[in-house]
Amino acid sequence: MNDFTDVSLNEQLSLAQTSSDPEALTHLANHHLEVIRNAVAFNPKTPAEVLSQLAEDDNKWVRFAVASNPSAPSDSLTFLARIENVKVRMNVAANFNAPPGLLAILASDRHKSVRLAIAANPSAPLEALARLIQDRKKSIPAAVAGNFNAGAEILVVLSSNRRKKVRMAVSGNLGTPADLLSQLGKDDNWEVRQSVASNLSTPRNVLALLAADQKTLVRKSIGANLNTPSSILVELANDASEKTRVAVAGNSSTPPHVLDLLAFSGRKLIHVAVAGNASTLPATLSWLIADPRTNIRMSVAGNPRITPNLCEQLAEDSSWRVRNELAKNPNTRQSSLSKLADDETKPVQISVAENPSTPLHTLEALAANQRTSIRIAAASNSSTSTQLISRLSQDSDWEVRNSVAKNLATQPDLLSRLADDENKWVRRSVGGNPNTSTEILIGLAADDRVQTRIAVAFNPNATQDILEKLAADQRTEIQIAVAGNPNTPPESLVELAKIDNGLVRRNIAKNPNTPSTVFADLAEDPSKLVRTSVAYNSTTPSATLTRLAADGREDIRVAVALNVATPPGTLSVLASDRRKAIRIALAHNPNTPQEALDRLAIDQRKAVHNAVKANPNYQPDTQGILSD
């Protein structure tokens, strides 16, 4: 890739995995190496339009990654669900943002792994979960039992299941009603009782009964439960099992005087737990920092209730790992952070530079450090002063200036200066900063580097005038970004729709500013993905949706059936379509007319009439149809 010639392959991979910069991710999505495209596809910060592009990638592992991405658009997930590759469908089924209608369809998939993913998905509709509790594969009812949104009726049925794993899942479900948890707390199987003991929804009287359980792991779970009454924790602090006592020592609900006693137990694991507990008294922590074991002192250093006196002592600890934990702690005393800023170990200095509680004079000293990584950390700190940010904006190292350009606390006048930086990555970061002013964005929109122009095209503050100029840019990546920006003026979208590029037209099909006349043309687009995007768009005119309802592709008709903007008459016509997926989609649409729902309710396929049951607008007086 020409725009990344000065960046190593490892750095490109790191950008693909962690970057939130739309411009960089757009470029990397076109990389010739599969591993780079795959990393972009997995990145939850990747823009929807880029994920739409990668959903059509030739490599199955890239498509697999898109299917699992929570930012993947609905139409892309619907498209991927039609792919025969079971691993791709499995990831779609597990995606929290997948449309309910699509999840209902996948609940009937022939592959166990796909149905299992639906069973565990909290976004799965109730009718799909109700169907899956009858599944012959043992793991699927257990997955439904653990689903927080399974509903009381389903959980009641599963609580009496003969398989312990199913009952364990119900016992551990935070959505399980209190009366069911009380019943399961008396289960013959200790693992079921342990799940009840761990559940934060378990009533206190049930926890009290389980505290006397003969099984150590049940008592340990009671000791760790934040809702366990203090009187019970006092008793468990003297339990014969060390595992139980460690659990009590780490529980923030444990009374301080009990933690004090546990601190003198002589057992390392108990000491570590007490040292990190926010309820531990300062006097107890003072005793623990004298312990020769590093892990215990590290635990004290990260304690949110650390005192100034403890900070002073730990700042001089012989172990750099202890000092580093202290440097990371936002509750560390400022004088101690200043002392740690002079630490001989680089990681400790970086942690101080990143800590939002570090005093200004200390940040100023760190900003003058010879190590670039320390200056980068100081430049990214949200507490860094305007004066210090100004100084760092003139740093000789471009990575430091780039950190300033990304910082949301950077003042407009500094962003203006950095907009003229000689380094393209700095200018790109200014172009992507949501605080960059319109005046600066106007200048950057004419930058000679494509990365910068793309960043401006993605910027939510880009005005219609800026986007209109960028729409005339000949670079495809910029056209794609402009087409997807909700601020792009309708006139520009009309012109962009004439470009022979499917990704540009697809973004236009998704854009809420797209004129109705353009939708009419896009509905005839040769690309099925463009037509699908039109079918999903809630601003698509009724006439266009009616035309797409007759499209030869089933997935496009499904999108029309799901669209709340589809006219009732069109939905009624679609109710005559015999395709199961379309009929389920219609049953989910709250605007589907009553007469169409009546026809769907007598469908021989259980998934269809179950979906009708779940429709909030289905009239009670016709529910007799569903009595089977």
Q: Between 174 and 607, where is the model more confident?
A: 174
Beta-carbon count within 10 A of 308 CB:
12
Residue predicted with more confidence, 260 or 614:
260
pLDDT digits (tens, 9 = 90+) for 438-459: 999 999 999 999 989 999 998 8
* First CA to last CA distance, the chain: 61
pLDDT digits 0-9 by tens, 511-532: 888 998 899 999 999 988 899 8
Q: Name the band, by pLDDT with cuts 50, 70 and 90, for residue 3.
A: low
Alpha-helical runs (H) found in 85-147 = 86-94, 100-106, 112-120, 126-132, 139-145
Q: List the CATH code of the domain at 211-305.
A: 1.25.10.10
Q: What confidence score (pLDDT) does residue 193 get?
A: 97
Identify the three-state secondary structure at position 209. Answer: helix
pLDDT exceeds cutoff 90 at 228:
yes
- The mean pLDDT of 1-8, rounded to a whole number, is 59
Residue 315 vs residue 587, higher pLDDT: 315
User: In whole angstroms, what is the distance from residue 148 CA to residue 166 CA?
Assistant: 14
**At 8, is the pLDDT very low, low, confident or very high (cuts 50, 70, 90)?**
confident
Residue-wise pLDDT tens digits, 66-84: 999 999 998 889 888 887 6
Alpha-carbon gap, residue 45 to 13, rounded angstroms? 15
Residue 33's pLDDT band, with cuts at 50, 70 and 90, is confident
What CA–CA distance (Å, rounded) separates 472 from 465? Answer: 11
Give the integer Cα–Cα distance in Å for 43 and 20.
Answer: 9
Alpha-carbon distance values, 142 to 115, 169, 213, 331 (Å)? 12, 6, 25, 43
Is the four-CA dihedral 450, 451, 457, 462 of positive or negative sign?
Answer: negative
Report residue 38 as tokens: 């795959």
Q: What is the DSSP string of 373-399?
A: HHHHHHHH-TT--HHHHHHHTT-SSHH
- Spatial separation of the C-alpha atoms in residues 290 and 317, rounded to whole Å: 10
Spatial contact of 335 and 312, defined as CB atoms under 8 Å apart: yes
With a cut of 80, say whether residue 6 has pLDDT above it. no
Helix (H, G, I), strand (E, B) or coil at 324: helix
SS3 239: coil
Q: Give me the sign of the Cα torsion angle 481, 483, 487, 489.
A: positive
CA nearest to 382, candidates 363, 412, 356: 356
Choose among 255, 236, 256: nearest CA to 246: 236
Q: How far is CA 552 from CA 528, 575, 577, in A?
A: 10, 16, 12
Confidence of residue 623 (pLDDT cuts 50, 70, 90): very low
Tokens of 547: 């035309």
For residue 572, the model assigns a pLDDT of: 92
Say what the pLDDT of residue 622 is. 43
The DSSP call for residue 331 is: T
pLDDT of 1 over the 60 cut:
no
- Residue 563 tokens read as 């669209």
Rounded CA separation 392/397 (Å): 9
**% of the chain at pLDDT higher than 90:** 69
Closest CA to 608 of 578, 569, 573: 578
Q: What is the mean pLDDT of the chain?
A: 91
Judged by DSSP in three states, 482 sits in: helix
The model's confidence at residue 627, banded by pLDDT at 50, 70 and 90, is very low
Non-local CB neighbours of 178 within 8 Å, separated by 6+ positions:
201, 202, 203
Tokens, residue 40: 């972009």
Q: How far is CA 121 from its chain centroid?
A: 14
The C-alpha atoms of residue 309 and residue 318 are separated, in whole angstroms, by 17
For the entire predicted model, the pTM comes to 0.64
Lowest mean pLDDT among 485-489, 585-589, 608-612: 608-612
**170/185 Cα distance (integer angstroms):** 11
> Using a CB cutoff of 8 Å and minimum separation of 24, what contacts does 182-190 make?
182/206, 183/159, 184/159, 185/209, 185/210, 189/164, 190/215, 190/217, 190/218
Q: pLDDT-derived band of residue 603, with 50, 70 and 90 as boundaries?
A: confident
